């Protein structure tokens, strides 16, 4: 399935994947929700990003920035989609500007 993305649709997709694959209640899922608060450790996040690759038809770099919230995951996915849609290789580091 080829996904056209905006933050809202990416977040919706992420929520659906988490409720379906990880049996996490949708009521617990907000952009500011910490991954650790919903039981997603680094292994679970890596597995989720493999699903993201298939769903969004992108390549996730083998080493990705530490993501701490669902909003971080959405921004990361959207950044990779945007970078790869422009026929550029995926970024090795964070696809969005440094946080101040």
Chain segment 43-78, per-residue pLDDT in tens: 999 999 999 999 999 999 887 778 999 999 999 999
The pTM (predicted TM-score) of the whole model is 0.75
Residue 47 lies in a domain: yes
**Structural domain span for residue 34:** 7-85
For 60, the token pair is 């996730």
4 by Cβ neighbours in 10 Å (0-12 / 13-18 / 19+) ranks as exposed
Residue 18: which CATH number?
1.10.1200.10
Query: How many domains in the chain?
Result: 1
Element (H, E) at 86: none
pLDDT digits (tens, 9 = 90+) for 13-26: 999 999 999 999 99
Residue 45 lies in a domain: yes
Residue 98 lies in a domain: no
Residue 28 lies in a domain: yes
Residue 2 lies in a domain: no
Residue 96 lies in a domain: no
């Amino acid at each position: 399935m080829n996904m056209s993305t905006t933050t809202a649709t990416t977040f919706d997709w992420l929520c659906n994947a988490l409720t379906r694959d990880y049996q996490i209640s949708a009521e617990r899922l907000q952009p500011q929700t910490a991954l650790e608060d919903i039981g997603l450790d680094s292994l679970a996040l890596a597995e989720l990003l493999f699903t993201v690759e298939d769903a969004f038809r992108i390549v996730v770099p083998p080493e990705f920035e530490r993501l701490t919230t669902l909003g971080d995951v959405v921004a990361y996915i959207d950044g990779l989609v945007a970078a790869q849609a422009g026929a550029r290789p995926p970024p090795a580091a964070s696809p969005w500007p440094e946080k101040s």
